[in-house]
Amino acid sequence: MVMLFDRFNLSEDIFTTLFATEQQSLVARLLVDYIKENEGEITKTEMSMFATQLHEGKYVVSGEVVGIQAKTVKLSYNKRQFYDRILTPLKSMGLVDYDLYKKTYKLSENFNKEMIRIGLLWLRHLRKPILLNLKKK
């Protein structure tokens, strides 16, 4: 996943930095909170149930969370898009890990480790000598 951000206008919320739309960031936040409520790990079946309930509009959030003046708002998100646009990016970025043997999803610190690794790659590149001799004509 390609992540573009403006370091001068970074949000305090990680989800608005990582996801393109407010709805995606809200759904990702809901998923992470759901996993946290279940001691940081959920089964494949629980993930499917979460996605199905989301698809059916069974999640109700405060209007303030969505930025609407209503007291509560039913939130729905297509199940297939949930897997494609929310869960897959969370896994590929290292925020959520999937254990093939236990068939569980759990929150991970790998994202932080990868961001540090990317920063170190940049520092290493800065210290390398110039390899290309670019000449102007």
Bridge-based pairing of strands 59-62 and 96-99 is unpaired
Q: For residue range 33-70, what is the model confidence (pLDDT) as tens digits?
A: 999 999 999 999 999 999 999 999 998 877 666 556 55
Percent of the chain with pLDDT over 90: 69
Domains of the chain are: 11-108 (1.10.10.10)
- Length reported for the chain: 137
Q: What is the average pLDDT across 89-114?
A: 96
